[in-house]
Chains A and B, each alone.
Chain A
C-alpha cells in the first residue's frame, strides 16, 4: 500500500493539526524524482559498507585468541605427557648416509700409516660369526651372510674394515 494512500475518513477525529492534514493532501499526488531513493541507498551503503571479517577483529581480540590457543596447546602437551601410554619421543636429527662409507679405520692413523705390506682379505661371513668376532651388529638372522673386507697388516692386525649386505 502506498504510504500516502489513506482514507481521510478513517482518520477523522484523530486530533491531528489541520496543517498536517493539508500537507498530506498536497503530497498525496506527489512523487519523488526518479532514482532518488536508489541513490540515497547507494550513498548510505558506501558510507556504511560492511567490513570484511578480518577487519572486524582488533589487536586485542587477536591477542586474546592467540593466548587462548597457546594455553590450550600447553595444556594438551602437558596432558599428553601425563598419559601413561603417551611416552614423549626422543629428539631426532636426520642425517644422510653415503651410499658406501668405504673402509673404516679401526686403528689410529699413525698405526695405519706405519703398517707394512697390508693385505686385503674378504669373505662372506654369517652375522652370528661377526658378532662372535666382536663386531656389534644385529644378528636376528644369524646365518645371513655379510660381505666383509678386512685390511690386515703383515702382523695379522686388522687395520680397516668394510661391511656390506649383498
Chain B
C-alpha cells in the first residue's frame, strides 16, 4: 500500500505540468479588465485578417510621437512617446510602448491567429483569437487590402472631422509627391478639413490637417503630422530603422507569463 501511495503521488507530480498547461473552464472577465478587453478586441478584430499581413519585409525601428496641446490659458502640454516596433518575415508584429505607466507589449501573430497584450512587469497578459468582426447592420466596414494600404490622408481627416461639432465641413486633399526620408522613398499626401465659422458657434473656421508619408518598399507610414483643433499638433516619425530579421523570441509569450485568453461569446 505504501508503494502504491508513493507511486500515485509520483504520478500526480509528473502530470502536474500537463494539468498546469491545460486551459481551465472559462470564467467571467473581471470588471477592471474591461478596458484591456475592449482594446484587445479592437486589435484582434479586423476585416483584413490576412490581406493586411505584410510578409517578407522584416524590420525593427523606433516610432516616436511628439504632441503639443495648447490650453485656453496659454499653457502647453508637450508629450513625447517612443515605441519600439518589430515585424518578422512571417508578418508577425510587436509593439513595445508605455500605457498607463506600465510597459505594454502588443504582439499580433497572424500565423497562430492570436493577438496579445502583455505586461512584462507583472508577467501577465491577455490574448484573443484574431477574427473578422460580425457584420453590423447599416455599416459599410472599410475593407482595406495591403496592396492599397497607403493611409489616405484625406480620409483620415474626413473621419476625424465628425468629432468636431457642427456640420458643413469641407475637405481638400492633395498629393505631396515623393521624397527621401531616412533613406527611404516615401509618398506623401495631405488633407485639410475646414469647419466654417459659425457652424458650431466658432468665431473663426476650425481647420484639421493630416499629412502622411508612406514608404511603399517597407509598407509602413514613416512620417505622420496631424493638427487638430482639440487634440493639438502631433508628429509621428520612424527612426533607427533596421531591416534585419528580429529575433523569433520577440514574437512569443515567455513561459513564465500568466495569460488570460479572452473568449468571444
Q: Do A and B come from one complex?
A: yes
Tell me the A residues contacting B by CB distance below 8 Å: 59-60, 62-64, 66-67, 69-71, 73-74, 77, 87-99, 101-102, 104, 106, 121-129, 132-138, 140-147, 150, 156, 161-166
Could you tell me the distance in whole angstroms from the C-beta of B152 to the nearest C-beta in chain A? 6
In the complex, are the beta carbons of B144 and A66 less than 8 A apart? no
Given contacts A67-B11, A136-B95, A165-B47, 11 further A-B contacts (CB under 8 A): A63-B7, A64-B7, A70-B13, A77-B18, A87-B255, A95-B260, A96-B265, A97-B37, A128-B221, A144-B142, A145-B142
CA distance A20 to B252 in the complex (A): 92
Could you tell me the distance in whole angstroms from the C-beta of B37 to the nearest C-beta in chain A? 5
- Total contacts A-B at CB 8 Å: 239
Q: Which of B10, B48, B155, B234 contacts A141 (CB 8 A)?
A: B48
In the complex, are the beta carbons of A92 and B259 less than 8 A apart? yes
CA distance A121 to B108 in the complex (A): 29
CA distance A129 to B158 in the complex (A): 12
Q: Which of A63, A98, A162, A165 contacts B265 (CB 8 A)?
A: A98
In the complex, are the beta carbons of A132 and B65 less than 8 A apart? yes
Tell me the B residues contacting A by CB distance below 8 Å: 1, 3-4, 6-8, 10-11, 13-15, 17-18, 20-21, 23-30, 33-35, 37-39, 41-48, 52-54, 65, 67, 79, 81, 93, 95, 97, 99, 104, 106, 108, 115, 117, 125, 127-128, 133, 136, 139-142, 144, 149-152, 155-156, 159-163, 165, 210, 221, 224, 226, 230-231, 234, 236, 252-265
Q: Which residue of B lies closest to A121 (CB)?
A: B163
In the complex, are the beta carbons of B163 and A94 less than 8 A apart? no
Specify which chain B residues have a CB less than 8 angstroms from the CB of A87 in the assembled complex: 252, 255
In the complex, are the beta carbons of A128 and B224 less than 8 A apart? yes
